[in-house]
Structure 1
Amino acid sequence: MSDHGLTHDAFLGGLLHLWQPRDGYRAGVDPVLLAATIPAVSGQRVLELGCGVGAAVLCLGARVPGLILTGVEREATYAELAMRNGGSGLEVVHADIAELPLTLRQRQFDHVLANPPYWRRDASVAARNPTREAALGEETALSLWIEVASKRLAPKGYMHIIHRAERLPDLLAALPKDMGSIEVLPISARQGRAAERVIMRARKSGRADFRLHAPLVLHRGESHLDGDQYVQPVRDALRAGVALKF
């Protein structure tokens, strides 16, 4: 894809710039919020499944220097852009998560994250743009995303998944028995609104009790008429790469 079909967008207040297709799926707030919740420390190994142009994993890398970053992406255009965006700091594997190469299946990671497609196509209409559809339409079962993520985790490693709130039962049901210390962070647009997103955290061989956290509210005010200002912790995460605590 030539550069005239791309945009070069600032993330984290300009700490990170990403090449993205002008048309098709474009990274938004969700991968940035996902990255902000991961408690990584320098030297750890991180894998993102379905990394797209690398938004989530590179946001995490911008916040925590010294991470060993790997992304898997099925769509060739996005895999190429992830390579361009990450340079030598991001290993990109062009593969379907259902058919990972042996070299990757032999490795373990301290953190595995994913922002799987949100929409089940047995109950919604496919996007016209093929790359946008690949990012949004659930072709690979959500349960397989969870299975693959759990298999790639090292002992005591963390899985983080962001998804629509109504899919939380599916997320929890898909967790293998060796995944514990489950935490769920609901994400609501405004105070008093139902959660639209959730971030699920689980730990390999974790034994802590299940925790359902208070919702993370994104915006001040009761409606869009009150402005679209992010609350300070969210603004800090989006504009300055500050970590978000569960």
Structure 2
Amino acid sequence: MTSTSASDPGTGDAAGMTRDAFLGGRLTLIQPARGYRAGVDPVLLAAAIPARAGQSVLDLGCGVGAALFCLATRVPGLTLTGVELQPDYAALARDNAALNGFDARIEAVDLRALPRDLRDRAFDHVIANPPYFDRRQGTASAVAGRETACGGDTPLSDWIETATRRLAPRGYLTLVQKADRLPELLGAMDHRLGSITVWPVAGRAGRPADRVLICARKEGRAPFRLLAPLVLHAGPTHDSDAEDHTEQVHEVLRNGAALPMIG
């Protein structure tokens, strides 16, 4: 997959932040100029969530709020909650909620130690874009914010356990993750989660998928489904500076379209 951003070029400021336009300008996010910056994946995640107005959403590891607020832009009338380990990113998520007119509760906490009132709540949707790299392997980033977002030290099993506990009966868990960690994710899902759908994401047709979108339902009983790959870019190679997203992905990134994963 390429690293093409989902945002339009942003403007910088003296505090080392940029303001970036997402969804064709329907959403603006303040992000660090250095460190973890939201790209395509949280936008795809938001598009895949089968949410309806009036439902509640918990975003585990919400960062600056990219997935949560892309979803809220597409589906008005949601109750929005995000938790984020890094206080600076949680503060930016609050700023981004205010900037875009969303009423959202953002807590700067470890997802393994949620506030008591959140532990007592059940949500219609739990969403997450967990760190992609297992820090038992590989090299850590020198930029602290990027390292925590991309690596971190919370096992994927803890992400799945927290999400499962916080889901209401028949609620949906939706994730985006690297394809090579799919076995680990599926292995962490026990009998409480079913109706699992996996959607591989490939950079171009004919190439191996290196991301997956996953949707599971609490108390779901439908058979496992593996969908045909979602292809991001048209053509075999990137031959110019012009955008070359497939029509379906273009509609998601620029117009806030949905990516339905369930029937």
TM-score by length of 2: 0.91
Give CA deviations for 1:201-239 in whole Å, capped at 9, x if unaligned: 100000000000000000000112376510111000000
CA distance in 2, matches of 1:229, 1:90: 34
CA distance in 2, matches of 1:176, 1:148: 12
Given that 1:147 and 1:176 are in contact with CA atoms closer than 8 Å, whether structure 2 keeps it comes out as no
Given that 2:133 and 2:150 are in contact with CA atoms closer than 8 Å, whether structure 1 keeps it comes out as yes
Letter in 1 for 2:125: H
1:146 counterpart = 2:160: yes
The equivalent position to 1:202 in structure 2, one of 181, 196, 216, is: 216
Match of 1:233 in 2: 248
Given that 1:118 and 1:138 are in contact with CA atoms closer than 8 Å, whether structure 2 keeps it comes out as no
Given that 1:150 and 1:176 are in contact with CA atoms closer than 8 Å, whether structure 2 keeps it comes out as no
Letter in 1 for 2:253: L
Letter in 1 for 2:103: G
The alignment of Structure 1 onto Structure 2 pairs a total of residues equal to 245
The equivalent position to 2:55 in structure 1, one of 39, 44, 51, is: 44
**Secondary structure at 2:15's aligned position in 1?**
helix
CA distance in 2, matches of 1:242, 1:130: 33
The equivalent position to 1:68 in structure 2, one of 74, 79, 93, is: 79
CA distance in 2, matches of 1:198, 1:129: 26
**Shift, 1:138, TM fit:** 3.6
Structure 2 unmatched runs, 5+: 1-12
Match of 2:260 in 1: 245
CA distance in 2, matches of 1:176, 1:15: 38
Given that 1:32 and 1:55 are in contact with CA atoms closer than 8 Å, whether structure 2 keeps it comes out as yes
**Secondary structure at 2:231's aligned position in 1?**
strand
Given that 2:94 and 2:104 are in contact with CA atoms closer than 8 Å, whether structure 1 keeps it comes out as yes
1:79 counterpart = 2:90: yes
Give CA deviations for 1:71-98 in whole Å, capped at 9, x if unaligned: 0001010000000101252110110001
Q: How does 1:146-225 map to 2 (within 5 A)?
A: 146-225=160-239
Give CA deviations for 1:112-159 in whole Å, capped at 9, x if unaligned: 000000011222100000011010014100010011011100000000
Letter in 1 for 2:126: V
CA distance in 2, matches of 1:50, 1:3: 26
Match of 1:54 in 2: 65
Taking a change above 3 Å as real, the CA distance of residues 208 and 228 of structure 1, as seen in their structure-2 partners, is same
Given that 2:196 and 2:214 are in contact with CA atoms closer than 8 Å, whether structure 1 keeps it comes out as yes
**Secondary structure at 1:131's aligned position in 2?**
helix
CA distance in 2, matches of 1:221, 1:230: 9
TM-score by length of 1: 0.97
Letter in 1 for 2:144: P
Letter in 2 for 1:183: T
**Secondary structure at 1:125's aligned position in 2?**
coil
CA distance in 2, matches of 1:94, 1:121: 22
